Amino acid sequence: MQAFFLLEQVVNGLVLGGYYLLIALGLSLIFSVGGGVNLAHGAFYALGAYLSVEIGKHLGFWPAVAISPGVVALLGVAFERLLLRRFYGADPILGLLVTFGLALVAEQAIRMLWGAAPIPAPMPPEMKGQVLVGDFMFSRYRLFLLAVVLAVLAGLWWLLQRTSFGRVVRAGIQRPDMVAALGIRLQPYMTAIVMLGVGMAALGGALFAPITNVHPAMGAEIITVAFVVVVIGGLGSFWGVVLAALLVGVVRGVTIHFAPAAGEASMYILMFLVLMLRPRGLLGERIEKFE
């Protein structure tokens, strides 16, 4: 019986990992092309949640979940063009400071617009409740969430590996100078990647709003987890991030099973161990640009 309970936690952890993935993958992508950690990533996640709640009041849940990430992705374009672009070649600390500042500004703006108190975010009634697969219990809503994550993951992989767009992006990550020498301007590609990453964060926010508290500091909460996942997986590695997200979800679930008080600490311990044994992260590659 104990083994079954444990297995149930592992499966549940994989589902949870899928949700971390949505945020962490965008963070990792933006890092790969821009060379800096976008600390404002959580702010776009929070905006996605708030906008979807607001749009949902007028159009209902489903259109809101589709529209909100689109709107935030466009904000992401403005963010890249006006701000992020200026820091690509610069000292990474500058990009960190600017995006951190932006995160603070965004959090305060949300506080002013919607107030400090968390706002209710309804879940569509048809998605509520549990689904029993054999003896495993799942939330119907989270199974739907998992399906969305898998679709996004497949789409992104296809985009990066199988299209000419993806080839330029990958080449740009490895050898930007070479790409430039071939006469390809990288800037539009960078804009597109930031738009995608930010849109994914907003999608995560919109999808997670009915599950968790929608409050001004939700962005700051998620950026820590997303960053831990990216570091464990290896900065810039697609499959590393996927692996790390699932691992963090599972380790957290199993820890809570045995020692609930240590649940939130488990991912930091995991990060510590991984960095001790393998400083570049699980699947991190040596990226010439950064070494």
Partner 1 sequence: MTTRRDVLKAGAAAAAALGFPAIVRTQPATIRIGHLTPLTGFLGALGDYAVMGIRLAADEINAAGGVLGRRLELISEDSVNPATATTKAQRMIERDGVEFLMGEINSASAKAIMQVAARNRKFYLQIGARSDVLRGADCNRYTFHVDIPVTVMVNAAGQALLREGLVKGKRYFSLTADYLFGHDLAKAAKAFMAANGAVHVGDDLVATDVTDFSPYLLKIRQAKPDLVATNLAGNQVTNFVKQYAEFGLPYPIAGFNLNTADAWAAGEGNLAGIWPTVWHHELDTPGSRAFVAAFRKRYGKPPENHAWISYVSLKIMAQAIAATRGTDTEKLIGYFESQAEFDLLKARKGYFRAWDHQLVQEAYPFTVKPKGQAKDKWDFLQFGAAVPAPDQPLETIYPPRSQNTCKM
Q: CA 73, CA 195: separation in Å to the nearest integer?
A: 5
Q: Burial of 182 by CB count in 10 Å (0-12 exposed, 13-18 middle, 19+ buried)?
A: exposed
For residue 146, state whether it binds partner 1 (rule: CB under 8 A). Answer: no
Binds partner 1 (CB under 8 A): choice among 129, 155, 188, 279: 129
Beta bridge partners of 138: 131
Binds partner 1 (CB under 8 A): choice among 94, 109, 116, 151: 116
* Spatial contact of 189 and 182, defined as CB atoms under 8 Å apart: no
Q: Which is nearer to partner 1, 84 or 206 (CB)?
A: 206
For residue 12, state whether it binds partner 1 (rule: CB under 8 A). Answer: yes
**C-alpha distance from residue 213 to each of 39, 209, 252 (Å):** 21, 7, 20
Binds partner 1 (CB under 8 A): choice among 120, 155, 188, 279: 120
For residue 143, state whether it binds partner 1 (rule: CB under 8 A). Answer: no
For residue 253, state whether it binds partner 1 (rule: CB under 8 A). Answer: yes
Q: Which is nearer to partner 1, 16 or 192 (CB)?
A: 16
Nearest to residue 195, comparing CAs of 34, 21, 17?
A: 34
Q: How far is the CB of 273 from partner 1 (least distance, A)?
A: 20
| Sole window of 32-40, 71-79, 137-145, 155-163 interacting with partner 1 (rule: CB under 8 A) | 137-145
How many residues form the binding site for partner 1 (CB under 8 A)?
42
Near partner 1 in 187-216, by CB under 8 A: 210-216
In degrees, rounded to 5, the angle at the alpha carbon of residue 15 between the alpha carbons of residues 6 and 9 is 10
Q: CA 216, CA 109: separation in Å to the nearest integer?
A: 9
Q: How far is the CB of 23 from partner 1 (least distance, A)?
A: 12
Question: Quick one: angle between helices 92-114 and 41-59, nearest 10?
Answer: 30
Q: Which is nearer to partner 1, 26 or 253 (CB)?
A: 253
With left for phi above 0 and alpha for psi between -120 and 50, is residue 124 left, alpha or beta?
Answer: beta
| Sole window of 22-30, 34-42, 80-88, 133-141 interacting with partner 1 (rule: CB under 8 A) | 133-141
Q: Which is nearer to partner 1, 142 or 280 (CB)?
A: 142
The overall longest dimension of the chain from CA atoms, in Å, is 63
Binds partner 1 (CB under 8 A): choice among 30, 121, 226, 243: 121
